[in-house]
Amino acid sequence: MDIFSQLKGIVAELREKCPWDRIQTFESLRPLTWEEISELLEAIDQGNPAAITEELGDVLLHVFFYARLAEEKGWTDVETVVRQLIHKLTARHPHVYGEASAQDAKAVVARWEASKRNQGPSALLSGVPERLSPLLQAYRLQEKAAALGFDWAHPQALLPKLEEELRELREALQQEDYTAAAQELGDVLFVLVNLARHLHLDPERALSMTNMKFRQRFAWMEAQAQAEQKDLRTCSPEELESYWQAAKAYYP
């Protein structure tokens, strides 16, 4: 028995014999799946091979578990999932499995999008799930628009647009129009994602790195305050700023 068949058998046995696994549904697993994917991305960010191996296994378990749930409903099974994936990958990579050629990654993406459009009529921005995180959703929407030629010429061209959106945000705040401020803030974020895309940067990874840096700096502040027998919750704004500047020097 190959390892994939073994894993499929284990999942089936868990569904039959484990009280917890028996009661799981598509709905109950969804938040756990997000958690496992987040842990995998965190392990990748940390460059931790052992953690990556473990988290990949956890994500793979969820794939097999969902396939088992679908099989029980008579919808599909894991073999069908894999066969369909293999067919899709080979069909959309004729430069690898056929006679076509692709000079660069941009040409591959263009052919991929054309292949999906040839499968049937659809809205031009279809294929971008609404449940993606807002940052990633913005990135993918912009990618699809750019594939049609609706894009900025270069990163520097986005800077005046960013300044325009920031000005509109400031105006909304000055007028204390917080409904408009929310819309303008969204526009600012959308432009920033566009800038990240033009710079070939992942906005989610960039923000994740900043979040991690903030955690490190704040933990340093807390430890430093405790070493001085202080509590950040009772520190003045001036003291907090002093700790923050010191933390920035420690974690640049």
pLDDT band at residue 15 under the 50/70/90 scheme: very high
Residue 110 lies in a domain: no
The percentage of the chain sitting over the pLDDT mark of 70, rounded to a whole number, equals 96
Q: Please tell me whether residues 70 and 148 are part of one structural domain.
A: no
> How far is residue 62 CA from its own chain's centroid?
18
Top pLDDT among 58 and 126 is at: 58
Q: Is there a domain that residue 11 lies in?
A: yes
Task: Decide if 141 contacts 128 (C-beta within 8 A).
Answer: yes
User: 172 is in which domain, residue-wise?
Assistant: 144-200
Give the count of domains, the chain: 3
Tokens read off for 179: 């409904």
C-alpha 40, offset from chain centre: 11
The pLDDT value given to residue 116: 66
* Entry pTM: 0.65
Same structural domain, 78 and 7: yes
pLDDT of residue 117: 65
* CATH code for the domain in which residue 69 is found: 1.10.287.1080
| In the predicted structure, residue 50 carries a pLDDT above the cut 90 | yes
Query: Phi and psi of 58, rounded to 5°?
Result: -65, -40
Could you report the per-residue pLDDT of 167-194, keeping only the tens digit for each?
A: 999 999 999 999 999 999 999 999 999 9
Mean pLDDT of all residues belonging to the chain: 91
Distance, CA of 190 to CA of 196 (rounded, Å)? 10
**Whether residue 144 has pLDDT greater than 90:** no
Contacts of 192 (CB under 8 A, 6+ apart): 162, 203
Residue 107 included in any domain: no
CB-CB contact of 93 with 100 (8 Å): no
pLDDT in tens, 187-228: 999 999 999 999 999 998 899 889 989 999 999 999 999 999
* One domain for residues 80 and 43: yes
